[in-house]
Amino acid sequence: MKCWRDPAITAVACAVLLGLAAIGLRSSLSVAAETHAIPPPALDEPGTASTEVAVLAGGCFWGVQGVYQHVDGVLDAVSGYTGGTAATAHYDQVSTGTTGHAESVQITFDPRRISYGRLLQIFFSVVHDPTELDHQGFDTGPQYRSAIFPLSAEQGRIARAYIAQLSHAHVFAAPIVTSIEPGRTFYPAEAYHQNFLVRYPTYPYIVYNDLPKIAQLKRLFPRLYDARAVLVAVAQADPSH
């Protein structure tokens, strides 16, 4: 529902579409208000290195990035694309749903302050609905799929064990559809996508879809919530975008 990106849609039409989306999102916001923290992963290995990197996809990267920018121990969170090739890692192409890419976020964190497993707990509790296949709310297509892109065998082991744990406990009313896709390359998104939630907090999509996630993070993980967002330097975005 990012109609502002389509020059064929007028500003008035965009406002109407966003208004309809807001009405349709009321039910999902009600669900978000009732969200409860899921149990932490039984298998989790806090690291000893100064930095580690995770790549996660859970719908529009604006909200995913926005949540992790407010997590204590996260040093950087960059919006981008994962799952396809470098040649197709561009918003207009990814939006067709034919590139294999998912809108994703590369999270650099201090494993001595927050573990990979804890990042996954936030991912499943706050960031998105892991039972929605190839969509999140009104955003539809495989580019909005729920996916974990492990960067090591250990990350893959923790992710698989956690999904099995949550599935066995029937934490969600429907099956978890989150895919685990190792060996994929992350490509930073265009500069205008970076820090979007922080820069445009009154944008209708952000207000109705993503600000509730920040509130949930603060409510469910008060000790991990950091009011100061860790911002991406524009230079980190692919200069070719």
| Domain assignment of residue 215, yes or no | yes
Of 150, 123, 155, 151, give the one whose Cα is nearest residue 59. 123
Q: Which residues make Cβ contacts (< 8 Å) with residue 159, sequence separation at least 6?
A: 120, 148, 150, 180
User: Among 19-28, 144-153, 160-169, which stretch is predicted with the lowest mean pLDDT?
Assistant: 19-28
Residue 173, judged by CB atoms within 10 A of its CB (0-12, 13-18, 19+), counts as exposed
> 27 or 55: whose pLDDT is higher?
55
Inform me whether the pLDDT recorded for 6 exceeds 50: no
Distance in angstroms (rounded) separating the CA atoms of residues 162 and 227: 28
What DSSP element (H or E) covers 154? helix 153-168
Domain at 126, CATH number:
3.30.1060.10
Look at residue 45 in the predicted model and tell me its pLDDT: 83
Average pLDDT of span 152-178: 97
Distance CA 95, CA 91 (A): 6
- Domain annotation covers residue 241: no
| Angle of the 61-68 helix axis to the 211-220 helix axis, nearest 10 | 30
Range of the domain at 201: 3-236
pLDDT tens figures, 30-87: 344 456 679 999 999 887 899 999 999 999 999 999 999 999 999 999 999 999 999 9
What's the structural domain count of the chain? 1
Per the domain annotation, does 164 fall within a domain? yes
User: Confidence class of residue 237 from pLDDT cuts 50, 70 and 90?
Assistant: low
Give catalytic residue positions: 60
